[in-house]
Amino acid sequence: MLRIRGKNKQGKDGSGELSESELMARIDMTGLPRHIAIIMDGNGRWARARGMPRTFGHRYGMDSLREAVRTSAELGIKVLTVYAFSTENWKRPPEEVNVLMGLLVEYVHKEIDELCANNVVVRAIGDISRLPDSAREALRYAFERSRNNTGMVLNIALNYGGRSELVRAARQIAEKVRDGRVQLEGIDERLVGDHLYTAGQPDPDLLIRPAGDYRVSNFLLWQMAYAEFWFCPTYWPDFRRRHLLQAIYDFQQRDRRFGGIKEGGK
């Protein structure tokens, strides 16, 4: 949440909200989340509240995405994963699905120069084989253009669902057991992790969900095991750099124990 309790944390304007520069000054650059995951929610409600079609919300949401990517790359976040289209989003009217696929193409072509200038590697997580040709071509272009970059990984979750990702991993592992490439005893958490779309990446430390809902919506179910959750009422198209900085700052005030206890704790 944006409001911060406690006098010592008051912003200079006395409003209780810290400004971007105050947040930047307080964020510990040595304790950044390695992986941030964002559910970009509230586009439809944002648009409806303005008497616009829902798809306008998605278009404005692209600006928020640009700002989140820019800020994360600048801070030195290792991985940013954004939920752009879930396995359940096919249930939406075809026009909305088409607009979202079109926006993906537009996003790639508009942003790829800046993404490369910021050394970002573009990846997709999810079953992208079901996406329209134009979307798959745009993604191929983005992968190719960014593949030699060495900075932040941007995972765009497209036709992604946490459960279907786990089913896919189970099938791949079962096949390997059947073919004798993996022993039953060899199945452990690491092996499962190695069969997820995010193989080789750190798990999310921080999940951000704007727009007021408090659920995980089939996002990164396995990987989220120890993520810190941060919610805010702001709709995604209004989500700005300061919200992200606030989430990171609040994350740094959390006491992460990973099921253990604090040193010397009871």
Site residues, ligand FPP (CB under 6 A): 40-45, 58, 61-62, 65, 84, 89, 100, 103-104, 107, 156, 211, 236
Nearer residue to ligand FPP within complex by CB, 126 or 204: 126
**Which two structure tokens, joined as six digits, stand for 129?**
């084989």
**Active-site residue 41, yes or no?**
yes
**Which two structure tokens, joined as six digits, stand for 93?**
């009217």
- List the catalytic residue out of 63, 89, 218, 250: 89
Nearer residue to ligand FPP within complex by CB, 175 or 213: 213
Nearer residue to ligand FPP within complex by CB, 123 or 195: 123
Q: At its nearest, how many Å lie between ligand FPP and the CB of residue 229?
A: 17
**Can you point out the beta strands (E) in 104-245?**
121-125, 153-160, 206-209, 228-231
**Active-site residue 218, yes or no?**
no
Q: At its nearest, how many Å lie between ligand FPP and the CB of residue 92?
A: 8
Rounded Cα gap, residues 35 and 108, in angstroms: 22
Q: At its nearest, how many Å lie between ligand FPP and the CB of residue 137?
A: 14
- List the catalytic residue out of 41, 43, 118, 205: 41
Nearer residue to ligand FPP within complex by CB, 33 or 61: 61
In terms of Cα–Cα distance, which of 185, 189, 187 is closest to 203? 189
Following DSSP, what letter does each residue of 67-133 receive, concatenated?
HHHHHHHHHT-SEEEEEEEETTGGGS-HHHHHHHHHHHHHHHHHHHHHHHHTTPEEEEES-GGGS-H
**Which two structure tokens, joined as six digits, stand for 32?**
């950044």
Cα dist. 205→113, 209, 214, 243 in Å? Answer: 28, 13, 17, 17
- Whether the Cβ atoms of residue 66 and residue 115 lie closer than 8 Å to each other: no
Q: At its nearest, how many Å lie between ligand FPP and the CB of residue 211?
A: 6
Nearer residue to ligand FPP within complex by CB, 61 or 161: 61
Q: At its nearest, how many Å lie between ligand FPP and the CB of residue 109?
A: 12
Cα dist. 129→82, 132, 172, 178 in Å? Answer: 19, 8, 17, 26
Q: List active site positions.
A: 41, 89
